[in-house]
Amino acid sequence: MKDQPTPHDLDGNPVTPGLPMAMLAEITHRCPLACPYCSNPVELTRAAQELPAEDWGRVFREAAELGVLQVHISGGEPGARRDLAQIVGHARDAGLYVNLITSGIGITRDRLEELDRAGVDHVQLSLQGIRPDMADRISGHPGSWDKKMGFADWVTQIGFPLTINAVVHRQNMERLPDMIALAERLGARRIEVATVQFHGWADLNRAALMPTRDQAGFARQVVNDARLRLRGRMVIDYVPADHHAVYPKACMGGWGSTGLNVAPDGSVLPCHAAQSIGWMRFDNVRDRSLGEIWHHSDAFNAFRGTEWMAEPCRSCERKTVDFGGCRCQAMALAGDARATDPVCSKSPLHAQVVARAEQDADRTEFVYRRMKKGG
Ligand code: SF4
Ligand code: FES
């Protein structure tokens, strides 16, 4: 496919993009934790390159004009920015629903109250394990467990709705029932159980994190049982282990269809791992409005419609169901972002990818996420 600004379907009809509903604002890559499953790029953005709070204000206004209803303020750890309350205030002023995604480390109770006044509507807290030893080992941060439990108490005392984020992988998957029970005890209304996605730092740690086929089946059963038991009390969102599935996930609900990410330096990405596609160029909110980027940038238009697809997706009945899977996973596993996601059973690389996943059980030590010195 040649790069073209207007995407088409396979009948040659131009495809008009829909409007994004949610935006992920990664306001910093700085983070006190060092989780090996982090999907941030291995080359992390330094503090000096971060977009200032006033620019975030303009971006939030442009997002609201574009149709965005909800902003997920994330990182890294958003609490690493001293001007977080100011950034949150800008999002509130733009009329967005503000979800704060945090590790809970480095945000004091006073600061959480300030964030409440500034306009945070909802808090999403990440948990790395269900015991201090496990949580501290996976996060690479001694004492993280105690701090997180204290933070979760403040969240419920102040009255924020709480979602727990639980990334599951080979080294904690068998504790998933306890993780769900912990979310219940903490008063969460929702838990996001996400099997690790192998982008960024997680890809460096593939051999230590890849779940086994049996674990993937176990997790599916645990989630199904818990959904029945907790119906009406707690919602369970689930991202399954796609290496052991028949078809890939519809990543981002389809490229450039409902969501967008703004990276700490202002680059606008169709998904959080898009920078792994080496040939792709990303526009920046410092140079163009969010609306122009959404509608007209080459990056967003690259995988809209179906004309870009290769076989077997091109003639597959699921091409408008899963959109050929994840472009970044195709890049990582097939070396070609336009290829069928190799976790799909119809991909010619599928058997190889599954065999590799099954061999990937030989390592337990982690490469921890760290910013190079001087960040
Ligand atoms: Fe999806 Fe492509 Fe696989 Fe069909 S061949 S199921 S469209 S990834
Ligand atoms: Fe980029 Fe899936 S993470 S398309």
The phi, psi pair for 239, rounded to 5°, reads -110, 105
Q: Does the pLDDT value for residue 30 go beyond 70?
A: yes
For 86, which DSSP code?
H
Quick one: which ligand is closest to 332's CA? 2
Question: Is the shortest distance between the CB of 341 and ligand 1 below 6 Å?
Answer: yes
Q: Does the pLDDT value for residue 166 go beyond 90?
A: yes
ipTM (interface predicted TM): 0.93
Answer yes or no: are the C-beta atoms of 188 and 162 closer than 8 Å: yes
Question: Is the shortest distance between the CB of 273 and ligand 2 below 6 Å?
Answer: yes
Amino acid (one-letter) located at 226: A
Which residue's CA is minimally distant from atom 3 of ligand 1? 344
Answer yes or no: are the C-beta atoms of 119 and 91 closer than 8 Å: yes
Contacts of 337 (CB under 8 A, 6+ apart): 277, 279, 280, 302, 303, 327, 328, 330, 331
Q: How confident is the model at residue 374 (pLDDT cuts 50, 70, 90)?
A: low
CA-to-CA distance for 129 and 139, rounded, in angstroms?
Answer: 9
Q: Tens of pLDDT along 275-287?
A: 999 999 999 999 9
Give, in order, the Cα–Cα distances in Å from 148 to each of 29, 132, 163, 276: 20, 10, 13, 31
Q: Who has greater pLDDT, 84 or 353?
A: 84
The rounded mean pLDDT for the chain is: 93
Q: Does the pLDDT value for residue 361 go beyond 70?
A: no
Contacts of 104 (CB under 8 A, 6+ apart): 125, 126, 147, 148, 151, 152
Identity of the highest mean pLDDT range in 202-211, 228-237, 347-356 = 228-237
Q: Does the pLDDT value for residue 1 go beyond 60?
A: no
Answer yes or no: are the C-beta atoms of 54 and 91 closer than 8 Å: no
Mean pLDDT of 282-300: 97
Q: What is the pTM of this model?
A: 0.93
Q: Who has greater pLDDT, 134 or 335?
A: 335
From the CB of residue 65, how many other CB atoms can be counted at a distance below 10 Å? 13
Distance of CA 243 to the CA centre of its chain: 18
Answer yes or no: are the C-beta atoms of 53 and 279 closer than 8 Å: no
Q: Does the pLDDT value for residue 2 go beyond 50?
A: no
Question: Is the shortest distance between the CB of 17 and ligand 1 below 6 Å?
Answer: no
Contacts of 231 (CB under 8 A, 6+ apart): none
For 83, which DSSP code?
T
Helix ranges, 121-175 (H):
132-139, 144-158
Q: Does the pLDDT value for residue 317 go beyond 60?
A: yes
| β-strand partners of 102 | 125
Mean pLDDT of 156-179: 96
CA atoms within 13 A on the CB side of 59: 33
In terms of Cα–Cα distance, which of 165, 162, 151, 142 is closest to 110? Answer: 151
CA-to-CA distance for 73 and 123, rounded, in angstroms?
Answer: 10
**Length of the chain measured in residues:** 375
Distance from residue 316's CA to the centre of ligand 1 (Å):
6
**38 annotated as belonging to a binding site for a ligand:** yes
**31 annotated as belonging to a binding site for a ligand:** yes
Contacts of 295 (CB under 8 A, 6+ apart): 17
**313 annotated as belonging to a binding site for a ligand:** no
Mean pLDDT of 127-146: 91
Q: Does the pLDDT value for residue 3 go beyond 50?
A: no
What percent of the chain has pLDDT above 90? 81
CA torsion through residues 218, 220, 225, 231, sign: positive
First to last CA, the chain: 38
Q: Who has greater pLDDT, 144 or 356?
A: 144
Q: Of the ranges 61-65, 129-133, 225-229, which one carries the lowest mean pLDDT score?
A: 129-133
E strands of the chain, at which residues?
Answer: 22-26, 70-74, 97-102, 122-127, 162-168, 190-195, 235-239, 259-262, 268-269
Q: Does the pLDDT value for residue 4 go beyond 60?
A: no
Quick one: which ligand is closest to 350's CA? 1
Answer yes or no: are the C-beta atoms of 201 and 369 closer than 8 Å: yes
Q: How confident is the model at residue 359 (pLDDT cuts 50, 70, 90)?
A: confident
Answer yes or no: are the C-beta atoms of 181 and 205 closer than 8 Å: no
Dig out the tokens for 57 from the structure: 């204000």
Q: How confident is the model at residue 69 (pLDDT cuts 50, 70, 90)?
A: very high
